[in-house]
Structure 1
């Protein structure tokens, strides 16, 4: 074989082993529990790879058997949800809940997730019963910290698990179902009178708690906390909170603004305990192996340095696993590290990839549903990317000749000053090592980021472009922050040397405080650009990974079956684009009422791909951005994040807060409102976003007509002047969507009785096939005359699931029912999409949640 071709083959990662194809088949079978069609396509793709690798038919039969076993195992272990929630939950009654703490998780912003097993409830009227599965208790700004095994009693409302049900969005129900959680509740501070009882923690638990308090600083004692968030979070900066998050995975005291800044800086992966942190802890074992070898080189004759490092890394890894509370992600990382160590001891040619497959096999056999855990998905794909792309990038880096190395090579023999030559050599070697180490970190980060790109865009809807930060941040963590934090935590609990541990932790916290301030300052200065691309559909995610693997097999085997995999992958990538092009070319109009909780957001699509967003919803709490979590992902799902027009009907927070993020991250051509501006800091923020993005602002008044596409328009029916109304609601824009003069939908915002009275006295055409109920279907917007003038086929209500306001009001629903008009609300049906494909046929109603519309 020609030398160049041999070199190119060495750059190509080796192929998979037969048993590894079986693991892929087993994983595809588990995937079939929720995604049958993608799982079957994955199986076909695995068959093509098997054929390209010249595996016999019995190997392919074994892969198919693994697929069926995986599917059956996943079905068998999936927790079965209760048939229906009890009536007292639907009636929003408050109950006294008792249960035993199963485990506890921390969230940024002062939130504890307490999982209660054997939960029971009792009501004021004496009714009692059991709550099936685990009960998730979200405790905001807790006054103490429960530990596993304790008994808890707390008074709160319990409700079924339900998130924002939108097509292509996060499936909250399944996320918690696979963990055995069907119900959850919330309390804040001392509200609900939480009481903890039970046996005191054991010696090891007390020791771990002492280390946790030493790391976090215990500046604000839990028992002294109030229900005021400003009194509950730290006042001594971010260093200690960041140290606790990095060393212990305790994110309770982590400021949400800092957390968001770290994510924008492409460093969010470092704040969740994972293989990265366990690897840093294990590195201390390898460092100890190097030190022992330096002291006694003959030791390597009995045990090679790499294998000695594996042995010495085990105690450090186990200690960190225990200190981190043995969380599921940390346990899975420990399994991966152990598998990798075993492959090293067996002298495998590719220990990282083989160890990854062995770890995945063990994890899925024990817990098949963990395949749907985003943390496992990201970890496995990142390690796979590093093992496949990392060596290629490193070989490219190793060929780079650094300037210092070239200078030494040319001057070493000519130098007459031996001391200067030696110093110059040491400096050059040091600089070259730093540069190469930095390039190595960037290579690893780049390999992992490229591998994670499809999943990251799908889950998070954005791509942080500041990869360079990892070249600075990861060495700080690995060389000092985490080792010093672990050593400080241990020393601070030992008699006689606690002062040394506290000093080490204080130094570590000071370093991290400087890093946190730097991240915040650079973020404010715009050093961390964030891209909001199109969120891929599942064929594009599967097609991307299939294409990469197929091309690698083609380069290695040149087999025709591998080209079949390439064609299948290309077809998956093209399919959504072709489908979208046909959809845009169709003469069809759609209206989507998004599920944004207790708020309202409407997305209108017209022929030619023209799109309009009317309102964006908005949570009552500023800590949750519904625009980032729901609206922008929906705008970018399967399409470029572009909007022809954004309309704000009126300046209420449940309509405008969800617009800030899409206006900041999407391409928007125009912004329209009713003339009343949002007040306070959020109004200033909205004005700043529009100015910085160069988005033209328009004020709409009754009588205007705005064409979205040929024949499709929005008519403005109300108001003439919103300032005439004391309430923001009555000045809401009332819009009518028309298609060639046919009234499709009436969207009246939050207009109430005074505004409706003026609207009904006008001569505006109100007929529409769909009525989005004014003010979410509230009783103060009940108007039989409006229903008579509109003559809708359907009525839609934007309402949160089991919302405390009781929207839509039963009297509104009853009045419409007497007219033969069904009412569908997002609280029950999730997202509601209506599609008009013909100028004469009624629209098709497509709810996100099945079984809600007959």
Structure 2
């Protein structure tokens, strides 16, 4: 492990200070662990320097953090469409023909809004756009403006905080093909206009002749990969394409970042080497490293411009500049020092960049390669042989070693961010050489030719060749997937102490590999941080308590029930329209927060997508011991993937009806109150109505989307409905209003699962419950709601995420 310069640990303390703005205790623990590691030189930097750097980071983070508005504009009190007019500052093409656009200086008109300024920036999702906006354009967007409340769930991503980092406090959705988005004026950003013109030329070069046969899915994905590699435009991909790439551990190759800049530098290096072959005397005038840096610099700048100067690409370009500077200064550890220099520039200019997942992953990957490359070099010196065979072997081992060390360095963070581990480094041996050595030269060369009038046929030839190579790569991935070779597992998402402990142990491993003394205190602290959360969970699971958590899944429903012994039940898994996977990103993320991806019993109350769509990814990625449903058929195209997942994982299936019961042990049971034999299982009124009991006492009632007629019928028939916790039927809709039912349940706590896109929960529903002395909660205002019940059946406390 390269020894750190005195200022480099202080930079880490500065970064911890910035993180402390949002995560004070984790940042403080990270600082404490840093202090337990050996200093670069005896006595330097002193403790005061660390504390000062931490305080400076804390101050910089506070000053840079956007302040959320105190109130929402009064004219948005009524949920109705208004028109927002603002200037485009960022455009991000998304899969499925979508655009994510950021507007600033937004003013609202229509309804009760009269040129009302909107605080902060506005995030606009445009479905089926009819034109491509560029930064500087002024757009008028008509839609419902909503606060960026996000999904507030325990242990899951805080989407509202991520938006706040960009100064975004409101969002809206619009359809371009319904005239909901218009361009009022074009911007005067010349570079953005040129870039848009180049995109149009490349699209024309890739266009098929009118009489050409239709493309298969792999060929379409291959053509979509060209604008993705050049412009970070993934709108041509399907979600299945991106999922295939992600499960192959190759998603980083489609994100314009350090690897893509590395390809550009490699191309420049090849040009320099070729020039040296032709005119060796050039090295007498300029040393080869200097010549590589000089040739690479304009190519990297041009690539950053083509890629839209996204934050990740700009950071990668600055990292290249830092590496180049260290190389020119003849630093013996240019990669490591260049990384720290680049990070220092990032965090001084833009302190909030420390919260960027892409920066964190890039920095960790580079650090992992830099730290563990010297041991690899020492090992390869022992490999016998000479000539081309040895060179080919070393090159292959080098690619594999680089991939493994980079993945090992980012693994704890990847597990936390995404909750799965698609570890397939061997695929890099196929993908990376073809992508970097064949596809990128063809695509970059084609883009350069496309910019020159009259060279369109040559540009089309190169770009089409690059797209065809990408198509064959996608076919190879599909073949690997068909053989079950793309291994991707849902994993426990480490908590923040475990992440800090993991990186402490990785640092100690690096010290051991370098033959340096190991910090015993640092080793002990790292192990404690790694193991303590698991020990605490074991203690918690040994208690006789029961908890019911209604997740914040937007306009849908998902409820987790934790019972003694660490067992978990999941009743519904939510689901939204569009491609956003609630099961993976929200429900699954919360379930795996410090715990393995396991569900003991899964219940589908009825087959509507807002209750079962999230199960598609959960059944595929989690271990599920048993599946229970109402016997209905999942709506739309959900039936096939759910059935396939159940069959592939050999999950026992049961259809429940009134009178059934599921014994959970420890005096706990699930009673089934509905549906009966004559109920239509595919409708709201065919929902499972489940009652959780403990020694006969009703703990919770889960009525699904059952409506007024069914609820009144149950109350009139004299069923025992009493339960301390009521998950309000049908998201609190007035169509499920039933006062006699509420009285029969007599809940102490009622929770409605609802999004912010409709009139849920109904005021009269909550008023009727409140008159019974029941405390009411709704996920669209309280976030996820957890009710904890002790072993005697008494409610201990109610926890909300907002």
How does the TM-score come out when normalised to structure 2? Answer: 0.95
Secondary structure of the corresponding residue to residue 792 of structure 2: coil
Structure 1 CA distance for aligned equivalents of residues 515 and 440 of structure 2: 44
Superposed, which structure 2 residues align to 1:431-510 within 5 Å? 431-510=389-468
SS in 2 for 1:605: strand
2:653 is aligned to: 697
Deviation (angstroms), 1:138 = 1.3
After superposition, the Cα gap between the structure-2 partners of 1:278 and 1:720, relative to the gap in structure 1 and judged at 3 Å, is: same
**Residue 605 of structure 2 corresponds to which residue in structure 1?**
649
Cα distance between partner residues in 2 of 1:614 and 1:129: 43
Residue 843 of structure 1, CA deviation: 3.3
How far the C-alpha of 1:519 sits from its partner, in A, is 2.2
Compared CA separation, residues 220 and 759, structure 1 to 2 (3 A) = farther
Offset, 1:354 = 0.5
Partner of 2:750: 795
Residue from 466, 469, 474 that aligns with 1:516: 474
Q: Which has the larger radius of gyration?
A: 1
User: The residue matched to 1:843 in structure 2 has which SS?
Assistant: strand
2:25 maps to 1:69: no
Q: What are the equivalent positions in structure 2 for 1:38-437 lying under 5 Å apart?
A: 38-51=26-39, 53-56=40-43, 59-125=46-112, 127-199=114-186, 204-217=191-204, 237-397=220-380, 399-401=382-384, 429-437=387-395
Q: Deviations over 1:337-357 (max 9, x none)?
A: 100011111111111011000
| 1:97–1:121 contact (8 Å) kept in structure 2 | yes
Q: For residues 658-682 of structure 1, give each alpha carbon's deviation from its aligned partner in whole angstroms, at most 9, with x where no partner exists.
A: 1121111111111111222325542
Equivalent residue of 1:102, what SS?
strand
- Offset, 1:37: 0.8
Query: Structure 1: how far apart are the matches of 2:638 and 2:321?
Result: 50
Q: Is residue 732 of structure 2 the alignment partner of residue 749 of structure 1?
A: no
- C-alpha deviations, 1:805-847, integer Å up to 9, x for none? x111111011112222121011111111111124153231011
**What displacement does 1:758 show?**
3.0
1:547 aligns with: 505
The answer for the alignment partner of 2:692 in structure 1 is 737
In 2, distance between residues paired with 1:192 and 1:493?
A: 32
Higher mean displacement: 513-522 or 351-360: 513-522
- Cα distance per residue 1:725-769 (max 9 Å; x no partner): 486211211111122222111111111123223322334321111
| Cα distance in 1, alignment partners of residues 569 and 395 from structure 2 | 49
Distance 1:58 1:392 in 2: 28
Say which of 775, 778, 785 aligns to 2:740. 785
> Which moved further from structure 2: 369-378 or 125-134?
125-134
Question: What does residue 683 of structure 2 align with?
Answer: 728
How far does residue 401 in structure 1 lie from its aligned partner after superposition? 4.1
Does the Cα contact within 8 Å between 1:547 and 1:569 map onto a contact in 2?
A: yes
Q: Does 1:583 align with 2:566?
A: no
Question: The residue matched to 1:815 in structure 2 has which SS?
Answer: helix
Matched position secondary structure for 2:125: strand
- Counterpart of 1:613 in structure 2 is 570
Q: Secondary structure at the match of 1:670?
A: strand
Contact 2:692 2:699 in 1 (8 A): yes
2:592 to 636, 642, 647: 636
Which residue of structure 1 aligns with residue 716 of structure 2?
761
Report how far residue 307 of structure 1 moved. 2.5
- The 8 Å contact of residues 164 and 595 in structure 1, kept in 2 or not, is answered as yes
Between the aligned partners of 1:168 and 1:610, the Cα distance in structure 2 is 18
Match of 1:269, SS state, is: helix
Indicate conservation of the 8 Å contact 1:216/1:241, yes or no.
no
Residues 206/75 of structure 1: CA separation in 2 closer, same or farther (3 Å cut): closer
Instruction: State whether residues 49 and 553 of structure 1, in contact with CA within 8 Å, keep that contact through their aligned partners in structure 2.
Output: no
SS of match in other structure, 2:178: coil
Q: 1:735 & 1:38 partners in 2: Cα distance? A: 40
| Aligned residue in 1 for 2:796 | 843
Whole-Å separation in 1 of the counterparts to 2:265 and 2:517: 41
The answer on whether the counterparts of 1:265 and 1:466 sit within 8 Å (CA) in structure 2 is: yes
Partners in 2 of 1:610 and 1:59 — Cα distance?
A: 49
Written as runs of structure 1 = structure 2, the 5 A alignment for 1:700-711 is 700-711=656-667
Change (3 A) 1:204 1:814: closer
Distance 1:154 1:679, change over 3 A: closer
Provide closer, same or farther for how the CA distance between residues 87 and 307 of structure 1 changes in structure 2, counting only shifts above 3 A: same
Distance 2:329 2:410 in 1: 29
CA–CA separation in structure 2 for the residues paired with 1:473 and 1:554: 32
What displacement does 1:41 show? 1.1
SS at match of 1:237: helix
Structure 1 residue 580 displacement after superposition: 0.5
2:144 counterpart SS class: strand
Q: Determine whether 1:593 maps to 2:550.
A: yes
| Residue 584 (structure 1) shift | 0.7
How many pairs align? 796
In 2, the alpha carbon distance for the partners of 1:130 and 1:340 equals 44
Given that residues 215 and 485 in structure 1 are in contact (C-alpha distance below 8 angstroms), is that contact kept between their aligned partners in structure 2?
A: no
The answer to whether the Cα contact below 8 Å between 1:607 and 1:709 also exists between their aligned partners in 2 is no
Alignment correspondent of 2:211 = none
1:559 & 1:60 partners in 2: Cα distance?
Answer: 21
- Hey, what's the Cα distance between the residues in 2 that align with 1:471 and 1:727? 49
Q: Name the CA distance, whole Å, in 2 between partners of 1:47 and 1:297.
A: 51
- Tell me, in whole angstroms, the C-alpha distance in 2 between the residues paired with 1:220 and 1:627: 37
Q: Quote the offset at 1:202 in angstroms.
A: 5.7
8 Å contact from structure 2 (residues 6, 45) kept in 1: no
510-519 or 111-120: bigger deviation: 510-519
Deviation at residue 298 of structure 1 after TM alignment: 3.2
Tell me the CA shift for residue 555 of structure 1. 6.7
Partner of 1:228: none
- List gaps (5 residues or longer) in structure 2: 209-213
CA contact (8 A) 1:705 1:715 kept: yes
Classify the secondary structure of the residue corresponding to 2:37.
Answer: helix
Deviation at 1:182, TM superposition (A): 0.9
Change (3 A) 1:134 1:263: same
Whole-Å separation in 2 of the counterparts to 1:200 and 1:78 = 28
In structure 1, C-alpha distance between the alignment counterparts of 2:770 and 2:186, rounded to whole Å: 57
Q: Distance in 1 between matches of 2:77 and 2:336?
A: 50
TM-score by length of 1: 0.90
Give, in whole Å, the separation in 2 of the partners of 1:33 and 1:200. 36
Distance, in Å, in 2 between the alignment partners of 1:817 and 1:533 is 41
Contact 2:2 2:336 in 1 (8 A): no
Query: Following the alignment from structure 1 to structure 2, what is the Cα–Cα distance between the partners of residues 252 and 626?
Result: 21
Q: CA-to-partner distance for each residue in 1:628-649, whole Å, 9 max, x for gaps?
A: 2112222222111111111111
Gap runs ≥5 in structure 1 = 1-12, 222-230, 406-428, 850-854
Q: Is the 8 A contact 2:135 2:189 kept in 1?
A: no
Structure 1, 586-595 or 477-486: larger mean CA deviation: 477-486
Aligned mate of 1:813, from 739, 761, 766:
766
| CA distances 1:693-735 after superposition (whole Å, capped 9, x unpaired) | 11111122222222223112211122232x4348621121111
Summarize the Cα distance change of 1:125–1:763 in structure 2 as closer, same or farther, 3 Å threshold.
closer
Checking the alignment, whether the CA contact within 8 Å between 1:45 and 1:565 is kept in structure 2 is yes
